[in-house]
């Protein structure tokens, strides 16, 4: 099992221009964030029944869940003003 490490470099100052860009950039990020969370929860439920019935986890569904969780962390650090590093709108596959 791999652990997740998150390193966040908090900026000392932020520009007002970056804040305005951030407010507009949040809109597509929120849409992708919610879609990934719904898909991730669906994969979680399917994997739960997969473990109960077959006795093993589906690797492809687990990768989708991992992608959703990684995107969640990147989005939340940007959304909470902890970093100025913008997450990609389309998540990176693992």
| Per-residue pLDDT, 4 | 66
The pLDDT tens digits of the residues spanning 66-93 come to 999 989 988 988 888 888 888 888 887 7
Helix (H, G, I), strand (E, B) or coil at 1: coil
Separation of alpha carbons 32 and 86, rounded Å = 14
The model's pLDDT over 21-52, given as tens digits with 9 standing for 90+, comes to 888 898 999 999 999 999 999 999 999 999 99
Question: End-to-end CA distance of the chain, in Å?
Answer: 15
How big, in percent rounded to 5, are the helix, strand and coil portions of the chain? 65, 0, 35
pLDDT value of residue 3:
72
Cβ pair 43, 61 in contact under 8 A: yes
pTM comes to 0.79
Which tokens go with 26?
């949040």
């Amino acid at each position: 099992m791999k652990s997740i490490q998150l390193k966040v470099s908090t900026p000392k100052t932020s520009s007002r221009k970056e804040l305005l860009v951030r407010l507009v950039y949040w809109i597509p990020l929120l849409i992708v964030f919610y879609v990934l969370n719904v898909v991730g929860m669906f994969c979680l439920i399917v994997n739960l029944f997969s473990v109960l019935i077959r006795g093993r986890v589906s690797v492809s569904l687990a990768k989708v869940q991992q992608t959703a969780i990684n995107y969640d962390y990147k989005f939340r650090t940007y959304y909470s003003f902890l970093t100025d590093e913008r997450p990609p709108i389309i998540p990176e596959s693992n």
